[in-house]
């Protein structure tokens, strides 16, 4: 799977690269939810700067957002920060964010790692 995972005291950080599919991100999410550290997570930091292509359709984004929104009931108030190299993924991510932001979770896109870190708070 084209990603690296790093847990911190307050959340999880993923760095994706290459061509990424919805199934691959769902697998990473499942690993997150099956880890007891997810119960106290305050953020997900998703670095997409090295991604060449996201292979998702709108329905897959809706399913991912629905799954995360359902999880928000047991793990409330998580911030999801997407770090993108430019606006090429904005339209696709907008579907996810619109649905997720109707839960207790909040999601935003950033082109700056520093701005994303400021929004989610320090890792420890």
What pLDDT band is residue 67 in, cutting at 50, 70 and 90? confident
How many other C-beta atoms can be found within 10 angstroms of the C-beta atom of residue 39?
9
How many other C-beta atoms can be found within 10 angstroms of the C-beta atom of residue 86?
8
User: Does residue 54 surpass a pLDDT of 60?
Assistant: yes
Contact 68, 105 (CB under 8 A): yes
Q: What percent of the chain has pLDDT over 70?
A: 98
Residue 2, judged by CB atoms within 10 A of its CB (0-12, 13-18, 19+), counts as middle
What pLDDT band is residue 107 in, cutting at 50, 70 and 90? very high
User: Does residue 78 surpass a pLDDT of 90?
Assistant: yes
The domains found in the chain, sorted by start residue, are 3-120 (3.30.750.24)
Average pLDDT of the residues in 34-52: 95
User: Does residue 29 surpass a pLDDT of 60?
Assistant: yes
When comparing pLDDT for 47 and 71, which is higher? 47
Spatial separation of the C-alpha atoms in residues 111 and 86, rounded to whole Å:
6
Distance in angstroms between the alpha carbons of the first and the last residue of the chain: 27
Separation in Å, CA 10 to CA 37, 41, 70, 110: 9, 5, 20, 19
């Amino acid at each position: 799977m084209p990603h690296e995972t790093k847990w911190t005291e307050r959340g999880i950080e993923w760095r994706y690269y290459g061509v990424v599919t919805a199934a691959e991100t769902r697998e990473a999410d499942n690993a997150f939810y099956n880890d007891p550290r997810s119960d106290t997570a305050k953020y997900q930091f998703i670095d997409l700067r090295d991604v060449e292509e996201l292979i998702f359709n709108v329905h897959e984004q809706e399913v991912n957002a629905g799954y995360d929104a359902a999880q928000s009931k047991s793990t409330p108030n998580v911030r999801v920060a997407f770090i993108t190299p430019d606006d090429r993924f904005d339209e696709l991510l907008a579907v996810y964010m619109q649905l997720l932001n109707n839960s207790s979770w909040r999601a935003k896109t950033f082109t700056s790692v520093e701005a994303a870190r400021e929004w989610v708070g320090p890792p420890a």
